[in-house]
């Protein structure tokens, strides 16, 4: 018999994510607009104080998001474990995935596995949500690699023309970060919308016959 206690909490925390990422999208749109303004634009000085406060709120919401993702991962792992849906992990291994370096591979590997088990058990197709996780994985890697490549080029290239061009593009860094965060928020919102829909619309008496596929 299925144990649905964790499912209730999963629905609750995915609802929190939906609200959170709608707020993030609005904030990222505002920040993208702000960074795109010329220094001499009247709105630049007019919105300065507001943007300063908005960034503080954004920072606290980032902390809330990080904590919520830890809870979400633990709940998913516990749900898979209690209902024997497939491969589950020791909670310390799940937490390890949120540490620096491990986050770039272990976290996403565990997330994909748990997502596949839960969504398949719900009777939905896991492919769409799995692709979203892979896309977010790529975005995170790019977000880390691009600055490293940029700094390496600045200090290793001998051509003054190329260095000058790189320095010129530096002015768009903050706008680029805001746009990146916007894309990331949209994909995250789409993922949690799809995930919540899967676990909400599942048939209570649904039995998955091919648990072996989940472990393959």
Residue 40 maps to a domain: yes
How many domains does the chain divide into?
1
Q: How confident is the model at residue 162 (pLDDT cuts 50, 70, 90)?
A: confident
Token pair of 103 as six digits: 């986050």
Spatial distance between the Cα atoms of 81 and 150, rounded to a whole number of angstroms: 43
Q: Is residue 103 part of a domain?
A: yes
Q: Is the pLDDT of residue 211 over 70?
A: no
Q: Determine the Cα–Cα distance for residues 138 and 37; give it in Å rounded to an integer.
A: 29
Q: Is the pLDDT of residue 91 over 70?
A: yes
Write out the residue range of the structural domain in which residue 186 sits. Answer: 5-201
Whether 195 maps to a domain, the answer reads yes
Structural domain includes residue 94: yes
Tokens standing for 151? Answer: 């700094």
pLDDT of residue 4: 55
Q: What's the pLDDT at 5?
A: 55
Indicate whether 100 belongs to any domain: yes
Query: Is 79 contained in some domain?
Result: yes
When mean pLDDT is compared across 4-8, 101-105, 116-120, 147-151, the lowest value belongs to 4-8
User: pTM (2 decimals)?
Assistant: 0.84
């Amino acid at each position: 018999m299925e144990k649905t206690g964790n499912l209730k909490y999963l629905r609750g925390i995915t609802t929190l994510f939906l609200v959170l990422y709608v707020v993030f999208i609005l904030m990222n749109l505002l920040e993208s607009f702000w960074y795109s303004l010329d220094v001499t634009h009247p709105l630049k000085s007019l919105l300065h104080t507001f943007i300063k406060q908005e960034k503080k709120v954004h920072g606290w919401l980032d902390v809330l998001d990080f904590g919520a993702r830890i809870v979400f991962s633990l709940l998913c792992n516990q749900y898979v474990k209690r209902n024997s849906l497939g491969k589950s992990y020791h909670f310390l291994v799940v937490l390890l995935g949120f540490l620096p370096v491990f986050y770039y591979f272990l976290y996403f590997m565990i997330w994909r596995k748990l997502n596949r088990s839960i969504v398949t058990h719900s009777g939905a197709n896991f492919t769409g949500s799995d692709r979203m996780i892979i896309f977010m994985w790529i975005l995170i890697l790019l977000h880390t690699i691009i600055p490293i490549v940029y700094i390496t080029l600045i200090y290793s290239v001998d051509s003054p023309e190329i260095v000058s061009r790189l320095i010129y593009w530096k002015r768009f860094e903050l706008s680029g970060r805001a746009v990146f965060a916007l894309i990331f928020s949209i994909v995250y919102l789409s993922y949690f919308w799809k995930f919540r829909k899967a676990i909400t619309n599942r048939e209570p008496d649904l039995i998955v016959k091919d648990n072996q596929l989940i472990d393959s």
